[in-house]
Structure 1
Amino acid sequence: MKKVINPPKSEWLKLLERSTQTVEAIEEKVIAIFNDVKQNGDKAVRQYTTMFDKVELEDLFVSAEEIIEAEQLVSDELKEAICVAKTNITAFHAAQKTAKVAIETTEGVACWQEKRPIQKVGLYIPGGTAPLFSTVLMLATPANIAGCKEILLASPPNKQGKIHPAIIYAAQQCGVTKILKVGGIQAIAAMTFGTESIPQVYKIFGPGNQFVTVAKQLATKFGVAIDMPAGPSELLVVADDSANASFVASDLLSQAEHGTDSQVILVSTSKEKIIEVEQEIESQLQALSRKEIAIKAIENSKLIYVESKEIALNMINEYGPEHFIVCTQTNDFYVDGIENAGSVFIGDYTPESAGDYASGTNHTLPTNGYTKAYSGVNLDSFLKAISFQKISEKGIQNIGKTIEVLAGEEGLDAHKNAVTLRLNSLK
């Protein structure tokens, strides 16, 4: 990891760059695949699956037999762990339900807001080097709580045309209605347009590589909503002299092993702690099964020393990390001051892994600095707020003149007339 000492603020933007390709470098390929899938449907989806995943699929969907087989392949220990995690995720997201908001703004003018589920949602679950069945729990659980009628899950198949059994099992536990054995750009395109066999959805959720991220952003041009821009994983830890170097190193490596394009950063007010953490990383790295992936991620990662907690907080808010771990003697300073972060982990015994799996919070979070404007996935992500109003005769008499004046000033005579006619009928 690159060590940086007291970088001036003028260099922060360059220093904190992510190792992502530009949208322009990817978009041309994404658009070509989108156009092909739009025109040729299932045929194009099959062709790209063969091209990218090296498998020819007879059926694009997981069959009933495959669901039974998957359940048998998942160990009892993993089933129990999935159950515990789902229970905690359910508890946290069910608690986010809000009651109808109702008010009489003026006598006779009743206004209220109610939430309705998005009817059709698509959940993208990465497969690849790490099949993220935990993401199934994070997306399908709140979708089910919200009451989404159609929950389509898409995940890339292996070379045998199979989906990881734990992904299938988790999907069944969380109310997924269909499991699509398709990944990558072609999966996002299929869910955007719909094909002969794949239903179109109204909103797409889930993390993915840079191609999937750009594909999701392109989907919005065709009237499909997305949860957020969510690309390669990232983590920032802030630590001082009080931090446990072993814990900090383990957290940094836990994100580095996600993928070669992941990024981890340590910001510290202690030069000694930086050295300790660096030594721990080297030591712990040797035992990792995904060592080579972590090494490549670390190449674009940083160990940054700053002189004060105030400078550290300013830098962290400028970066806007997906995951933010606080291990200092002044945790409250950072917790109260953080403005841009996807999810915050506080204290020595709160590893980022807890949020990834089983504490109950959602791990589908904005990356690449989008925390400055986007929230992570939550129950409201699967809901729409609809406003209602009902005005009585007394109510239209109370606010009618106001509407007439406002509409008249904007030159919208038909708007004004819609009120005037009603007022005249009550004379």
Structure 2
Amino acid sequence: MHIEDFSPTQGFARMLDKEDALSRFRDEFYIKPDSIYMDGNSLGLLSKRAERTLLDTIEDWKDYGIDGWTKGKQPWFFLSEKLGKMIAPLIGAAPDEVIASGSTTTNLHQLVATFYKPTGSRTKILADELNFPSDIYALKSQLQVHGLDPDAHLISLKSRDGRFIEEDDMIEAMTDEVALVILPTVLYRSGQVLDMKRLTLEAHKRNILIGFDACHSIGAIPHSFSEWDVDFAYWCNYKYLNGGPGAVGGLYVNRKHFGASPGLAGWFGSNKEKQFDLEHTFTPAETAAAYQIGTPHVLSLAPLIGSLEMFAEAGIENIRQKSLHLTQYLMKLIEHELANMNFIIGNPREDSRRSGHVSLEHDEAARICKALKENGVVPDFRAPNIIRLAPVALYNTFEEVWKVVQVLKIIMSEKQYEKFANERDIVA
């Protein structure tokens, strides 16, 4: 059975589920009865393994106290490096090029502080107008630290249609005034996957460093950062990687940059052999670990241990294949069942350009999301008019996708959404 043999029946969905090689992982997660969770691209669900490794760490704290740094099931002193090694296959990097540390925005601050070196007329940072706001806040802040006017020195590439960024436009904007390019791997609204390999090659042809925000791709699509020669990247671990709310993030630094002095030095970036010498002269680690700042948030790292075990077992290529099939199936159902209901599929149709969610546009999107929740479906709203639906490979089923579209059909036919205000909640 293939998606190309599409049938809009529930039986077809069940057949697809029977053939799903990853179906066993669903039982690893806590899934609320009578609820369909389609928001894993914002916050992934808790797995039993993540719960176990968190509880193991709490037990180590209970049993060992301060000695938990070097004893117990998961000694804390090297935990960030251990998790970096586990994350490395998901981004196509060597283990020593990856560290679990900080958060998305603090890691971006660290990497820009390290690699943004305005010189002469080459002073500008190139980004895009569709990027997540936190990245833009950080870039403007870093420019101000350098005494530069963000309005003059941050180039925000315009989208042609408000949905996508064209790589040709980005490359054209890589002028000799640009010192650094910061882009998302995936646009968070439309789910467009940027051609990272091509963009990196073109930036380097122009002697420009380039870094990527991988928040909306890590755990959903494979990457080859080292092979593509990407300079650096950063991400969160609480979306597809299911690390829990506020989970510690991660960063990647290409080994060719090892030895670059961290722009924001902190003691956990020290060489581990020297760290507890407590000298006032900083001796950084010789790996990506140098770009840590403060003490690891151990209890926020612990769930990742269990979660990443599952990714190693499932394989990121297999996860990507199922994810593509889920979103293909969802789009086909939308086109078949929701025709003439004013929905627009606002994400790329091509597999190579589509990430792990479907971006469904509608003028009443905020109200429809509230109606979905009332009907037991958890979606995600993004202003002004986007319903993001993310069927996650490790725990969502094809039958759940089928049910979501049936719920949408009922909501629209009965106009259930009309009883809600068309505005977002505090947390959209």
Please, what TM-score do these two structures have when normalized by structure 2?
0.31
More helix by share: 1
Please, what TM-score do these two structures have when normalized by structure 1?
0.31
- Pair member with larger Rg: 1
More strand by share: 1
